[in-house]
């Protein structure tokens, strides 16, 4: 059972100290996510879904409980090791794109490779390939301010893919896009999952995003409320 | 790189360093030039010039043992004149006092000398004549004016034959010396009055003692003359072999070096002050880097989310600071060289640009970058990625 699981989360809790008070963002989440699927984590704001995403994405560590990524207990990793995981095994796509300003699409896509010690020439090639995957050939040298919202999100996806991660994490990926562009982006996710067999976790409360998933996990008040599967 | 994207701001930040380095280089080159000029001036006074003073060599400094036991006598001077390699000799008594002419008052230096003084000092007369040996022996109260004193007391009128009062004693003016200019930090050569040393003795009351004895050697025989004088003086002052001399014989280059030493100290002082602006430049860099870090919090978050480690972020911002300061340093070196050349053209001061100061300025500006860039870079690296990504 374990080999097929990309992610194993066992009773993960996350508590924040805000001044004198404690905020229990996650009160004990347990779930396993298999390789190759598209999972949507849904819930209202304040439900803890962003916190869960940060932990899955190794930007944050649980206060207690275990998180295993590809069999490794990353919940015990130190900052540097977590950075390595983010670099090589996880790709992020954010609602507000989070690209570097005044920088070309190519340079943005290459960014993870800069921290991977990949030689420049190879990095450039990998970035060009990634941009082609999201349909941006020919646009490599356009700067961020010369790209539309949809194109920027595509660059962000290319950046997330460039190091061949096993997991793609997307936080409200269509939040800043119009409906038509949003659908285009979701089509790209579908295509990537189908062709590259990359596991995708979407965090959202939008139906047009969740619709492409084959499994939906609903979170409320820091706990899993219910699940839906196809 | 981020620096290129905001050229104006990068330039303004580097400005402190540019000015600091430029000022240091300019100051040092002016100082070096002054030192060389001073030494030059002294050596141009004659490399065959020797000065005998009382007080031993080890008391160092220009005014050696002056003030402590004055033990040079006229008899010493006469004996020295006999030395074979000595061409001219002039005993020396100096003092400082009020000179009066009519309603004009002037405080100046009075040099009591021998008749050979103008030969030893290579000094020509402008008008009138220098006093001769007979006048010196007779102790006549005659005076030769430096051009500045002449200007101040007589303002263009003919001074020859006029009576001036030196410390209330009447002296008759027999000549005016040609203008010589600055004496490299010792006031002007032209602000003095030269009288026979015999009459100076009467002014100072120092009947038999001299401040110094100046001699010029025959061309090329300065070393010889120095050795001869030392021997004569040791015999006359009954100094046992191996014992310390109670006098010193110095040539102009030593005095020139001593003068050079004090300009050196001045240079170091100036450079120190200029370095303060380097420090200010460093603080400016730290300031701007802190602002830059704050502005790029989001960017730092993005970089961390794709795998940048703390050390990567630290190095990134530290490198930017160092590049800024070295860039400023290089520009500053150019500015410094240009301004010292400009100053030497405009003010007529000579300047000397030393490789040492350039290298020092370069290294210093690099270190300023590392030192002042470190705190902001560290701050950047310690950011929490989640907070950073949320930052507006």
Q: Is the pLDDT of residue A40 over 50?
A: yes
Residue A122's pLDDT is 94
Partners of residue A92 in chain B, C-beta under 8 Å: 305-306
Q: Say yes or no for a CB contact (<8 Å) between A54 and B386.
A: yes
Q: Say yes or no for a CB contact (<8 Å) between A100 and B302.
A: yes
CB interface of A with B, residues 162-221, below 8 Å: none
Average pLDDT in the B94-107 region? 89
Q: Is the pLDDT of residue B239 over 50?
A: yes
Partners of residue B309 in chain A, C-beta under 8 Å: 79-80, 83-84, 115
Residue A165's pLDDT is 94
Q: A134-152 pLDDT, tens per residue?
A: 999 998 999 999 999 999 9
Structure tokens at A16: 């924040």
Q: Say yes or no for a CB contact (<8 Å) between A83 and B303.
A: no
| Whether the Cβ atoms of residue B16 and residue B282 lie closer than 8 Å to each other | yes
Nearest CA in chain B to A115: B308
Q: A86-104 pLDDT, tens per residue?
A: 999 999 999 999 999 989 9
- The residues of B whose Cβ lies within 8 A of any Cβ of A are 5, 298-299, 301-312, 385-386, 389
Structure tokens at A35: 């390789």
Residue B311's pLDDT is 95
Q: Is the pLDDT of residue B56 over 70?
A: no
* B183 exposure class (CB count in 10 Å sphere: 0-12, 13-18, 19+): middle
The band of B68, judged by pLDDT with boundaries at 50, 70 and 90, is low
Cα separation, B188 vs A18, in Å, equals 77
Cα separation, A64 vs B37, in Å, equals 78
Q: Is the pLDDT of residue B6 over 90?
A: no
Identify which has the larger pLDDT, A60 or B55: A60
| Whether the Cβ atoms of residue B270 and residue B23 lie closer than 8 Å to each other | no
Q: B337-347 pLDDT, tens per residue?
A: 888 888 878 77
Cα separation, A188 vs A205, in Å, equals 19
Residue B73's pLDDT is 86
Closest approach of chain B CAs to the CA of A230, in angstroms? Answer: 32
Cα separation, A140 vs A106, in Å, equals 5
Cα separation, B233 vs B77, in Å, equals 10
Residue B248's pLDDT is 84
Q: B357-385 pLDDT, tens per residue?
A: 788 888 888 888 898 889 999 999 999 99
Q: What is the CA radius of gyration of chain B?
A: 32
Cα separation, A60 vs A53, in Å, equals 9
Residue that the structure tokens 């008040």 belong to: A221
Residue that the structure tokens 């730290």 belong to: B286
Partners of residue B312 in chain A, C-beta under 8 Å: 115
Q: Is the pLDDT of residue B224 over 90?
A: no
Q: Is the pLDDT of residue B64 over 60?
A: no
Q: Give me the phi and psi of B145, to 5 degrees please.
A: -95, 145
pTM of the model: 0.68
Cα separation, A210 vs A189, in Å, equals 12
Closest CA to A76 of A68, A56, A50: A68
Residue B69's pLDDT is 63
Q: Is the pLDDT of residue B104 over 50?
A: yes
Q: Say yes or no for a CB contact (<8 Å) between B312 and A98.
A: no
Q: B134-150 pLDDT, tens per residue?
A: 999 998 999 999 988 89
Structure tokens at A71: 């069999």
Q: A170-219 pLDDT, tens per residue?
A: 999 999 999 999 999 999 999 999 998 899 999 998 888 889 999 999 99
Closest CA to B127 of B163, B169, B159, B149: B159
Average pLDDT in the B300-322 region? 94
Cα separation, B17 vs B329, in Å, equals 6
Partners of residue A80 in chain B, C-beta under 8 Å: 309-311
Partners of residue A93 in chain B, C-beta under 8 Å: none
Q: Say yes or no for a CB contact (<8 Å) between A115 and B307.
A: yes
Cα separation, A7 vs A228, in Å, equals 18
Interface test with B, best of A74, A81, A86, A95 (most B CBs within 10 A): A86
The band of B252, judged by pLDDT with boundaries at 50, 70 and 90, is confident
Cα separation, B31 vs B349, in Å, equals 10
Cα separation, B207 vs A57, in Å, equals 101
The dihedral sign for the CA sequence A111, A113, A117, A119: negative
Closest CA to A127 of B306, B91, B146, B195: B306
Closest CA to B117 of B151, B100, B142: B142
The band of B288, judged by pLDDT with boundaries at 50, 70 and 90, is confident
Nearest CA in chain B to A54: B386
Which of B308, B385, B386 shows the shortest C-beta gap to A115?
A: B308
Q: Which residues of B27-42 are buried (b: 16+ CB within 10 A; e: fewer)?
A: bbbbbbbbbebbbebb
B342's enclosing H/E stretch is helix B310-346
Q: What is the DSSP string of B6-69?
A: THHHHHHHHHHHHHHHHHHHHHHHHHHHHHHHHHHHHHHT-TTEEEEEES-GGG-STTTTBTB-
Q: Please give the mean pLDDT across all residues of chain A.
A: 92
CA terminus-to-terminus distance, chain A: 20
Report residue B177 CA to chain centroid gap: 26
The band of B184, judged by pLDDT with boundaries at 50, 70 and 90, is very low
CA triple B207-B212-B215, angle to 5 deg: 120
Closest approach of chain A CAs to the CA of B296, in angstroms? Answer: 10
Listed range (B34-48, B87-101, B322-336) with the worst mean pLDDT: B34-48
């Amino acid at each position: 059972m374990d080999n097929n699981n990309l992610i194993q989360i066992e009773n993960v809790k996350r508590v924040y100290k805000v001044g004198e008070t404690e905020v229990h963002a996650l009160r004990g989440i347990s779930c396993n996510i298999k390789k190759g699927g598209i999972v949507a984590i849904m819930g209202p704001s304040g439900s803890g879904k962003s916190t869960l995403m940060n932990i899955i994405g190794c930007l944050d560590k649980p206060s207690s409980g275990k998180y295993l990524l590809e069999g490794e207990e990353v919940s015990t990793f130190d900052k540097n090791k977590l950075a390595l995981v983010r670099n090589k095994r996880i790709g992020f796509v954010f609602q507000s794109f989070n690209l570097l300003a005044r920088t070309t699409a190519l340079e943005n896509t290459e960014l993870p490779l800069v921290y991977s010690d990949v030689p420049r020439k190879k990095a450039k090639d990998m970035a060009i390939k990634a941009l082609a995957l999201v349909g941006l050939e020919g646009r490599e040298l356009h700067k961020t301010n010369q790209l539309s919202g949809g194109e920027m999100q595509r660059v962000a996806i290319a950046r997330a893919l460039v190091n061949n991660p096993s997991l793609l994490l997307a936080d409200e990926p269509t939040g800043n896009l119009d409906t038509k562009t949003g659908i285009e982006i979701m089509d790209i996710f579908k295509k990537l999952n189908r062709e590259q067999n990359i596991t995708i976790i979407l965090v959202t409360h939008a139906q047009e995003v969740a619709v492409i998933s084959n499994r939906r996990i609903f979170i409320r008040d820091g706990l899993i409320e219910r699940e839906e599967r196809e | 790189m981020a620096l290129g994207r905001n050229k104006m701001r990068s330039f303004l930040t580097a400005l402190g360093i540019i000015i600091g380095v430029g000022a240091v280089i300019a100051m040092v080159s002016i100082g070096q030039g002054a030192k060389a000029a001073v030494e030059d001036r002294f050596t141009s006074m004659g490399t065959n010039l020797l000065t005998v003073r009382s007080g031993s060599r080890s008391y160092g400094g220009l005014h050696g043992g002056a003030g402590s036991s004055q033990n040079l006598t006229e008899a010493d001077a006469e004996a020295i004149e006999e030395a074979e390699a000595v061409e001219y000799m002039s005993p020396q008594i100096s003092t400082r006092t009020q000179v009066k002419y009519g309603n004009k008052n002037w405080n100046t230096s009075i040099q009591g000398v021998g008749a050979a003084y103008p030969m030893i000092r290579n000094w020509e007369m402008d008008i009138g004549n220098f006093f001769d040996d007979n006048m010196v022996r007779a102790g006549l109260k005659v005076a030769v004016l430096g051009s500045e004193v002449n200007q101040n007391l007589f303002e263009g009128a003919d001074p020859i034959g006029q009576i001036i009062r030196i410390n209330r004693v009447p002296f008759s003016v027999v000549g005016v010396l040609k203008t010589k200019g600055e004496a490299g930090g010792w006031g002007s050569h032209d602000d003095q009055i030269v009288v026979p040393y015999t009459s100076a003795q009467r002014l100072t009351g120092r009947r038999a003692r001299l401040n110094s004895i100046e001699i010029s050697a025959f061309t090329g025989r300065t070393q010889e003359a120095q050795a001869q004088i030392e021997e004569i003086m040791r015999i006359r002052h009954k100094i046992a072999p191996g014992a310390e001399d109670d006098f010193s014989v110095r040539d102009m280059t030593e005095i020139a070096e001593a003068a050079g030493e004090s300009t050196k100290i001045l240079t170091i002082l100036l450079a120190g002050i200029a370095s303060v602006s380097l420090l200010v430049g460093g603080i400016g860099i730290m300031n701007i880097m802190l602002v830059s870090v704050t502005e790029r919090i989001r960017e730092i978050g993005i970089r961390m989310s794709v795998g940048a480690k703390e050390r990567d972020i630290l190095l990134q911002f530290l490198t930017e600071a160092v590049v800024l300061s070295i860039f400023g340093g290089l520009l500053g070196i150019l500015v410094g060289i240009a301004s010292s050349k400009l100053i030497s053209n405009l003010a007529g001061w000579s300047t000397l640009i030393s490789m040492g100061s350039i290298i020092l300025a370069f290294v210093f500006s690099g270190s300023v970058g590392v030192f002042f860039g470190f705190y902001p870079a560290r701050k950047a690296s310690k950011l929490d990625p989640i907070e950073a990504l949320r930052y507006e």
